[in-house]
Amino acid sequence: MLRDTLKTLLEAYGGSGSEHGVAEAIRTLLEGHVDSMKTDVMGNLIVEKYGTDDNAKRIMIAAHMDHIGLIVTHIEDDGFLRVTNVGGVSVDMSRGRHVVFANGVNGVCWVEPKENGAPTMANLFIDIGAATAEEAAAMVSLGDVAVYAPNVFNVGKHRVAAPAMDDRCACALLVELLQYTEGQKNTIIGVFTTQEEVGLRGATVAAYAVNPDIGLALDVTAWGDTPEDKIPAIKLGEGPAVKIMDRSMIATPAIRDALLEAADLANVKVQREVLPFGGTDGGAIQRTRAGVPTGTLSIPCRYVHSACEMIDMRDMEGALKLLLQFVDHV
C-alpha cells in the first residue's frame, strides 16, 4: 500500500550525507522485486528492472532520499549546540521544533533574541538537555546533523503531513512503481539519490555512471492554493504536475509530452508546472555527458522545507498510474 510505504520512509533518518537508513528501508521494500541493487560511492541506491523489448530504452528515474538539516558547528560551555544549515532550513520555521540526531539524541531548536533585524542562523541553537560542554560532547559530536523529528499525521481524509515529505513521497512512488511493474517494455533504473538538497550531488554522479537514454526526476513542487500564495498555479488534490520549467532545467519537450500522453492513457488529471525558483535532480540528469532527454513529475506539496510538509494522496495515486503508463510508452 502506497500510504504504508510512505510512512515507512518518512520515519527513517536521512539528513543530507547520511541517507543510509532510508536506503536500507528501500532495500528491504524492494527485495525480490528488482533484478539488481547496488550502492555507489556517493551513497546513491541504484536498482534495475530489466525491460522485455530487444530495443528497450534505459529510463533513469530519480528520487532523492535526503532532507534538510542542521549540522553542529560548536558546543557552548553550558551544553547548547551552535549549528548551521544543511540545505534550505528556515530559522523562523525551526523555532521551537523537535529535532533528532542519527544516534537518537533529541533536541529542541530555539532562537536567541536579536535587537535589530531578523534572527539569522547564527542566532539558532539546539538544546539537548546537557548542562555542560562535556555532557553534550558525550551525546553528539561536531559535524552531527539534526533533522526535524519524524511526525507523520493525517490531515482530513486525503492528506498527510510530515517532515521529509520532500522527497520521501517520491521515493515511495518509485518503490511502488518498481514493485508493480512486471514485463514492462523498457528497463527502469531507479536511482534513490543522495545530497540533492545541497546541490544535486548524488544525481550528478549517478547520471554519469548510468548513462541513460531518458531521465525523469520525481520530486515535490510548491503550492499556490493557500491565502496570498497563488504562484505557482498548483493545487493539492488536482493531480500530479508535469514540469515545464524550473531554475535547474527546461524540460525536454519530448519527455514532457510523453508524460502528458501517459496521463491521458491512465485517465489521470495533471497540472502543468512552471516553477520560478528551485530545481530538482532532473537538472543534473539532463546535463550529464552529452545531454539526456529529461523531464520531471512533481507532487504538489504545501509548506515545503517545514516540519509539516503536506501532500494529497490522490495526487500520489494518480502519479503512480501515470508512471506505469510512461515506462511502457515513452
Give the residue numbers marked as catalytic: 196
Q: Is 142:75 a contact under the CB 8 Å cutoff?
A: yes
Residue 173 is placed in which grid cell? 512512488
> Which residue is listed with cell 539558532?
124
DSSP state string for 146-210: EEEPP--EEETTTEEEETTHHHHHHHHHHHHHHHH--S-SSEEEEEEES-GGGTSHHHHHHHHHH
**How far is the C-alpha of 200 from the C-alpha of 302, rounded, in Å?**
22
Nearest to 121 by CA among 88, 75, 77, 80: 88
Nearest to 219 by CA among 170, 285, 165: 170
Tell me how crowded residue 327 is: count the other CB atoms within 10 A of its CB. Answer: 24
Peptide bond into 78 cis (omega under 30): no
- Tell me the residue length of the chain: 330
Share of the chain residues as helix, strand and coil, in percent rounded to the nearest 5 = 30, 30, 40
**How far is the C-alpha of 246 from the C-alpha of 253, rounded, in Å?**
14
CA–CA distances in Å: residue 310 to residues 75, 140, 146, 261, 319: 34, 30, 21, 27, 16
Nearest to 259 by CA among 274, 241, 276: 241
Nearest to 40 by CA among 210, 278, 217, 270: 210
Nearest to 309 by CA among 127, 102, 143, 151: 151
